[in-house]
Amino acid sequence: MLRRIDEALINRANQSLLNELEADYAALGDKLARQNIDIEAITRSAADFQIAVPSWGTGTGGTRFARFPGTGEPRNIFEKLEDCAVINELSGCTDSVSPHFPWDKVDDFSELKQTADEYGIKWVSVNSNTFQDQPGQEHSYKYGSLSNTSKEARELAIQHNLDCIGYGQQLGAKSLTVWVGDGSNHPGQQHFQRAFERYLASMEQIYKGLPDDWEMHIEHKMFEPAFYSTIIQDWGSNILAAMQLGPKCKSLVDLGHHAPNTNIEMIVSRLIQFKKLGGFHFNDSKYGDDDLDSGSLHPYQQFLIFNELVDAEYRKEQDFNPAYMLDQSHNVTDPAESLINSAIEVQRSFVKALLVNREALYGYQEDNDALMASLELKNAFNLDVSPILAMARYRKGAAINPLAVYRSSGYRSKMAELRPRDPNATGSGIV
């Protein structure tokens, strides 16, 4: 397998930390054994956990005010893939990438797929972009894409999504994620029902173009770029559209796309119940679509979401296979470092949720024992599972301390030499 980080460097760093890790792991194993939990089973599940990296997350993000790019940023999809390989080699839990078109300009898909194969990286959900006009575009998305009053603009947006399916097929992806910025800025600007009807009619055309083994995921977002109304503003509109379109269409939950304090874990439960949970975009937020690093602000919320997911697995819920992905904007950190750390923070929530004694929790729920029920969750959340995560990484050849190895590898400064900055780069996907 092609590697970007020297294996010897990882091994040396791991050896220097191994004694300490083994001691911590043994102590945690003893503690868990007293609760009848087999640490080895949890470590195996941790090792199996994977979350996709968004291709656009590998470049420095920005706001509408400014973007402050770092040095050595990837300038094209091959370089983004290179960074994704680094993230996976060190974290051991990000073996796939989600591309975004046309931000990711690809001349030769088979070459891209082959390079990814060499890195051991898979391609997952393809993201379309109908929230920006492309140079020379004949019909503008200024007033929307799939719901635009102009038939020509709608057709353009439909065709772009169909094209994205075609690109994804060449890469071996199996789903299309549709997020649109369609909406309105003024009360009365848009007829809510007619706009939603147009959106649904357009989505039907895209749905018809889905290969049999593909899914389509709809991503809702409360506001922005439209500030008065947004066509798929919440999980209500989302699930209605997904239900209308058919079984291959499901809802995607981006954590930052909800109002602060929304009970996202309950939305997740509802989507699971009606077989409509397509996947996640993990990130964190304080105000809105902040796209902060996963788990940096609300680790308990992230744990409670995984509590629902692990519960669904425990109950052997049918057709339950949500796609996990990060969707973050890294404005002040090295994106690779943020992505490594965030992937592990999501994995941490998953592992903690595995520690919940489901039968005990169901018992407390039946007995209406609110305090013991909440403590069952809190006790799992409060346990430091770092040794399990580190051991899972070590056993698969990833780094016990990924950020330390990343920094000592000098990867970014090497890239700064190899990837001179593009003076025209302006946005997270536009490099």
Nearer to ligand PSV, 13 or 164 (CB): 164
Q: How far is the CB of 49 from ligand PSV (least distance, A)?
A: 21
Q: Give the separation between CA 71 and CA 336, rounded to whole angstroms.
A: 12
When the beta carbons of 32 and 52 are compared against ligand PSV, the nearer one is: 52
Min dist. Cβ of residue 22 to Mn ion (A)? 39
- Binding residues for ligand PSV, per CB under 6 A? 127, 179, 219, 221, 254, 281, 289, 327
> Rounded to the nearest 5°, which phi and psi values hold at 179?
-120, 125
| Residue 127 touches which member of Mn ion, ligand PSV, none, C-beta under 5-8 Å by kind | ligand PSV
Q: Which does 308 bind (CB under 5 to 8 A by kind): ligand PSV, Mn ion, none?
A: none
Q: Is 100 in the site for Mn ion (CB under 5 A)?
A: no
Q: Which of 304, 175, 190 is nearest to 248 (CA)?
A: 175
User: ∠ at Cα 270 (269, 273), nearest 5°?
Assistant: 85
Residue with Cβ nearer ligand PSV (339 or 415): 339
Among 254, 293, 345, 376, interactor with Mn ion by CB under 5 A: 254
Nearer to ligand PSV, 6 or 228 (CB): 228
Phi, psi of 290 (to 5 degrees): -65, -30
Residues 6 or more apart from 263 whose CB is under 8 A from it? none
What is the DSSP-derived secondary structure letter of residue 52? B
Q: How many other C-beta atoms are found inside a 10 Å radius of the C-beta of residue 156?
A: 21
| Binder of Mn ion out of 281, 330, 352, 419 (CB under 5 A) | 281
Nearer to ligand PSV, 179 or 394 (CB): 179
**Interface with Mn ion, residue 293, by CB under 5 A:** no
CB of 270 to Mn ion, least distance (A): 19
Q: Which of the listed partners (Mn ion, ligand PSV, none) does 95 bind, with a CB threshold of 5 to 8 Å by partner kind?
A: none
Q: What's the chain's length in residues?
A: 431
Contacting residues for 48 by C-beta, under 8 A, at least 6 apart: none
- DSSP one-letter string for 18-42: HHHHHHHHHHHHHHHHTTT--HHHH
Task: Report strand pairing: 229-230 vs 183-184.
Answer: antiparallel
Q: Is 56 helix (H, G, I), strand (E, B) or coil?
A: helix
CA distance 51 to 276: 19
CB of 179 to ligand PSV, least distance (A): 4
What's the min distance (Å) between Cβ of 264 and ligand PSV? 14
From the list Mn ion, ligand PSV, none, partner contacted by residue 337 (C-beta under 5 to 8 A by kind)? none
User: 3-state class of 69 per DSSP?
Assistant: coil
Q: Could you give the CA distance from residue 252 to residue 241 in angstroms, rounded to a whole number?
A: 12
Nearest approach, Cβ of 398 to ligand PSV (angstroms)? 27
Q: By C-beta, is 125 or 148 nearer to ligand PSV?
A: 125
The Cα 91–Cα 69 span in angstroms is 24
Nearest CB to ligand PSV, comparing residues 215 and 289: 289
Which residue is at the shortest CB distance from ligand PSV? 179
Stated as kind and residue range, the H or E segment containing 288 is none
Q: Which is closer to ligand PSV, CB of 43 or CB of 55?
A: 55
In sign, the C-alpha dihedral spanning 105, 111, 116, 119 is: negative
Return the one option of Mn ion, ligand PSV, none that residue 198 interacts with (CB less than 5 to 8 A, by type). Answer: none
Q: Pick from ligand PSV, Mn ion, none: which does 79 bind, CB < 5 to 8 A by kind?
A: none
Q: Minimum distance from CB of 290 to Mn ion (Å)?
A: 9
Task: Report the residue from 327, 334, 337, 376 that binds Mn ion according to the rule CB under 5 A.
Answer: 327
CB 410 within 8 A of CB 40: no
Q: Is 239 helix (H, G, I), strand (E, B) or coil?
A: helix
**In the complex, what is the shortest distance from the CB of residue 292 to Mn ion, in angstroms, rounded to a whole number?**
11
Q: How far is the CB of 54 from ligand PSV (least distance, A)?
A: 7
Asked if 214 and 266 touch (Cβ cutoff 8 Å), the reply is: no
In the complex, which residues of this chain contact Mn ion (CB under 5 A)? Answer: 254, 281, 289, 327
